[in-house]
């Protein structure tokens, strides 16, 4: 599957759909897009991960970046993660600091 991401911002919520792989090759591109949102009114970042097959530490760093660079109260949601991706997130301890859910309701 081709790897890419789709970013949609509405008000205080940024939604990012992740497709394929989030690794060292393409994570910097996503980080550049998220950088543009830093300092804005965004207080919630929702990653849709149903089609994400693989996430490496480079991808996890983007998640950390999203949390650290948005407003201090920003919440991070990770929706529909596959088992392997979920395993990587839990190993890294990031599951304690984001909302891992199967679905997301606006």
Query: Using CB under 8 A as the criterion, what x/- string covers residues 23-52 for binding another protein?
Result: xxx---------------------------
Binding of residue 61 to another protein (CB under 8 A): yes
Binding of residue 64 to another protein (CB under 8 A): yes
Q: Which is nearer to another protein, 50 or 67 (CB)?
A: 67
- Which range, of 8-16, 35-43, 44-52, 59-67, touches another protein by CB under 8 A? 59-67
Is the Cβ–Cβ distance between 20 and 1 less than 8 Å? yes
* Cα-based distances in Å from 50 to 18, 24, 69, 82, 104: 8, 20, 24, 6, 12
CB neighbour list of residue 106: distance below 8 Å, 6 or more residues apart: 13
Rounded CA-CA distance 60/47 in Å is 12
Q: Which of residues 75-104 bind another protein (CB under 8 A)?
A: 76, 84, 87-88, 91-94, 96-98
Rounded CA-CA distance 81/53 in Å is 9
Residues in contact with another protein by the rule CB under 8 A: 23-25, 54, 56-58, 60-61, 64-65, 67-68, 72, 76, 84, 87-88, 91-94, 96-98
């Amino acid at each position: 599957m081709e790897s890419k991401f789709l970013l949609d911002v509405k008000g205080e919520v940024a939604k990012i759909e992740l497709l394929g792989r989030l690794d060292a090759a393409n994570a910097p591109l996503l980080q550049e897009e998220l950088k543009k949102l830093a300092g804005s009114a965004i207080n919630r970042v929702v990653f849709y991960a149903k089609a994400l097959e693989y996430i490496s530490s480079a991808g996890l760093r983007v998640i950390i970046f999203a949390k650290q660079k948005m407003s201090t109260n920003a919440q991070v949601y990770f929706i529909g993660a596959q088992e392997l991706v979920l395993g990587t997130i839990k190993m890294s301890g990031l599951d304690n600091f984001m909302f891992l859910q199967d679905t997301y309701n606006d």
